[in-house]
């Protein structure tokens, strides 16, 4: 009948294919996918039973067609009502399938695909890791073999080690009976660096530097400046004559003082070059530059008096004495080392050397002036010059008689000029 055709058309509708859209994420408020599928299966079973019942009624209708038209009409009405009810049930099921069941099924399929892809990746990583694991196992086996050999060697040495440990324990017990081990342990627990620092410097000194000097070069400037002034005097007596070539008409005192001022003037020029050069060419830091120059000029006058007097009075012997005097002063004046560190001979002659007081004056100008010290050094240094001046003025004429004869005989030997 019509109900039969309508039922067949509705029942033969295929579910929509894959639309290509990604399945929605599962809503935790909706029923479980498995429960919905089971519910759909139950509905299909129920509709199947209904269809079977409808089929039986159709069979009965066929039988009743020949028997009674009225019963047929009633049966047809029942069939039509049943078919319409079934059709409504099918429509409702199809709608529920498309809206709920089919997306759930697609979601489960997509999830299964993802799980398979993850499993595939894990298998690939495992395949790549297997060679590394094999290599590690091989190394482990080698290490175990080496460890076994080492353990065997240790076990072989164990009796010897055990014997030595027992001997050491006996010695410790013996020492423990003689000494207090707690003190030894306390000593060992101390900080070795702190202990070393204590023994290196048991007393910490609070240093307060007076008249500090910037560097080693500045500290050595007084010595080398004084040395240069003396050497300048030696050069003068080597280059210039102390007596005039035709001085028969002059007295010894006139010759002495006449040449002396020439030497002093040139010595001043040399000293100015040396002292100013220290400050501006060498860059030495001088605390009192004016006094540095003045003390240098005073030293120059004294040194010229000494050197000039030696050569003027004693001739070539005086030149030798000036050089010997220079050597003694370099070693004994305390210019490079403290006087207390010098040999006893140089400590003994130190107070009688002009360098001692000239270097002290220059140090006062370099580091800072203590006027009591300057006054003492300047007076003593001036006394050296005064003694040289008196010797030259008083004894030149007398001593030249003997020195000229000695010089004449020395030149006759051809060894001296």
Say which residue the tokens 């102390």 belong to.
242
Q: For residue 76, give the 3-state DSSP assignment.
A: helix
Which of 45-54, 180-189, 286-295 is predicted with the least confidence, judged by mean pLDDT? 180-189
Name the nearest CA neighbour of 392 among 306, 321, 320.
306
Sign (positive/negative) of CA torsion 37, 43, 45, 51?
Answer: negative
Which of 64-68, 138-142, 164-168, 215-219 is predicted with the least confidence, judged by mean pLDDT? 64-68
Mean pLDDT (the chain) is 80
Q: Indicate whether 157 pLDDT > 50.
A: yes
**pLDDT band, residue 176 (cuts 50/70/90):** low
Question: Domain range for residue 287?
Answer: 220-412
**pLDDT band, residue 14 (cuts 50/70/90):** very low
Residue-wise pLDDT for 198-240, tens only, equals 677 777 778 887 777 888 888 899 999 999 999 999 999 888 8
**Region for 47 from its dihedrals, namely left if φ exceeds 0, alpha if ψ lies in -120 to 50, beta otherwise:** alpha
**pLDDT band, residue 245 (cuts 50/70/90):** low
Residue 167 has what pLDDT? 82
Cβ 40 vs Cβ 95: under 8 Å: no
Residues 320 and 378 in one domain: yes
Which of 151-155, 198-202, 290-294 is predicted with the least confidence, judged by mean pLDDT? 198-202
Residues 386 and 252 in one domain: yes
Residues 158 and 254 in one domain: no
Residues 171 and 135 in one domain: no
From residue 197, alpha-carbon distances to 191, 203, 207 in Å are 10, 10, 18
**Region for 16 from its dihedrals, namely left if φ exceeds 0, alpha if ψ lies in -120 to 50, beta otherwise:** beta
Residues 175 and 303 in one domain: no
Q: Indicate whether 64 pLDDT > 50.
A: yes
State pTM to two decimals. Answer: 0.51
CA 262, chain centre distance (Å): 63
The set of residues, in sequence order, having a beta carbon less than 8 Å from that of 65 and lying 6+ positions away, is 72
- Asked if the structure places residue 147 within a domain, the reply is no
Residue 132 has what pLDDT? 80
**Region for 292 from its dihedrals, namely left if φ exceeds 0, alpha if ψ lies in -120 to 50, beta otherwise:** alpha
Last residue in a domain, options 168, 200, 232:
200
- Asked if the structure places residue 32 within a domain, the reply is yes
Which of 204-213, 284-293, 376-385 is predicted with the least confidence, judged by mean pLDDT? 204-213
Residues 161 and 137 in one domain: no
- Asked if the structure places residue 215 within a domain, the reply is no
Residues 159 and 238 in one domain: no
Q: Indicate whether 301 pLDDT > 70.
A: yes
The set of residues, in sequence order, having a beta carbon less than 8 Å from that of 150 and lying 6+ positions away, is none
- Supply the DSSP symbol for 301: H
Residues 225 and 337 in one domain: yes
- Asked if the structure places residue 20 within a domain, the reply is no
**pLDDT band, residue 264 (cuts 50/70/90):** very high
Q: Indicate whether 306 pLDDT > 90.
A: yes
Residues 239 and 165 in one domain: no
The four Cα atoms 144, 147, 152, 156 give a dihedral, to 10 degrees, of 180
- Asked if the structure places residue 62 within a domain, the reply is yes
Q: Indicate whether 349 pLDDT > 70.
A: yes
- Asked if the structure places residue 205 within a domain, the reply is no
Residues 237 and 376 in one domain: yes
- Asked if the structure places residue 334 within a domain, the reply is yes
What is the number of other CB atoms lying within 10 angstroms of the CB of residue 358? 32
Last residue in a domain, options 141, 167, 190:
141
**pLDDT band, residue 323 (cuts 50/70/90):** very high
Residue 249 has what pLDDT? 67
- Asked if the structure places residue 53 within a domain, the reply is yes
Residues 300 and 400 in one domain: yes
Residue 85 has what pLDDT? 84
Residue-wise pLDDT for 94-136, tens only, equals 887 777 777 878 788 888 788 888 878 887 888 778 888 778 8
Residue 183 has what pLDDT? 66
Residues 252 and 394 in one domain: yes
Counted domains in the chain: 3
């Amino acid at each position: 009948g019509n109900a039969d055709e309508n039922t067949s058309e509705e029942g033969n509708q295929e579910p929509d294919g894959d639309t290509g859209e990604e399945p929605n994420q599962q809503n935790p408020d909706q029923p479980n996918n498995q429960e919905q599928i089971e519910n759909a299966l139950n509905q299909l079973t129920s509709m199947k039973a209904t269809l079977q019942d409808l089929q039986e009624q159709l069979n009965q209708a066929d039988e009743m067609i020949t028997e009674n038209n009225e019963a047929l009409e009633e049966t047809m009405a029942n069939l039509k009502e049943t078919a319409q009810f079934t059709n409504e049930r099918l429509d409702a099921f199809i709608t529920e399938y498309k809206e709920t069941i089919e997306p759930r099924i697609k979601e489960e399929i997509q999830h299964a695909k993802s799980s398979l892809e993850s499993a595939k990746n894990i298998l690939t990583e495992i395949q790549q890791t297997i060679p590394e694991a094999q290599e590690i196992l091989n190394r482990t086996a080698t290490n175990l073999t080496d460890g076994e050999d080492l353990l065997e060697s240790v076990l072989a040495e164990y009796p010897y080690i055990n014997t030595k440990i027992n001997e050491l324990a006996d010695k410790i017990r013996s020492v423990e009976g003689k000494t207090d081990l707690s003190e030894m342990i306390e000593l060992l627990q101390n900080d070795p660096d702190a202990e070393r620092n204590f023994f290196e410097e048991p007393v910490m000194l609070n240093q307060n530097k007076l008249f500090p000097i910037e560097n080693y070069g500045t500290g050595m400037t007084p010595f080398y400046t004084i040395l240069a002034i003396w050497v300048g005097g030696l050069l003068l007596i080597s280059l210039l004559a102390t007596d005039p070539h035709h001085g028969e008409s002059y007295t010894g005192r006139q010759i002495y003082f006449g040449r002396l001022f020439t030497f002093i003037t040139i010595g001043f020029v040399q000293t100015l070059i040396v002292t100013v050069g220290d400050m501006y060419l060498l860059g030495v830091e001088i605390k009192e530059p004016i006094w540095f120059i003045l003390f240098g000029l005073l030293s120059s006058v004294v040194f010229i008096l000494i050197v000039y007097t030696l050569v003027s009075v004693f001739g070539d012997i005086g030149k030798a004495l000036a050089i010997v005097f220079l050597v003694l002063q370099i070693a004994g004046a305390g210019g490079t080392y403290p006087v207390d560190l010098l040999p006893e001979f140089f400590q003994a002659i130190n107070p009688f050397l002009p360098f001692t007081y000239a270097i002290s004056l220059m140090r006062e100008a370099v580091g800072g002036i203590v006027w009591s010290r300057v006054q003492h050094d300047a007076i003593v240094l001036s006394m050296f010059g005064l003694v040289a001046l008196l010797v030259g003025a008083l004894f030149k004429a007398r001593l030249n008689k003997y020195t000229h004869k000695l010089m004449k005989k020395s030149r006759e030997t051809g060894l001296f000029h």
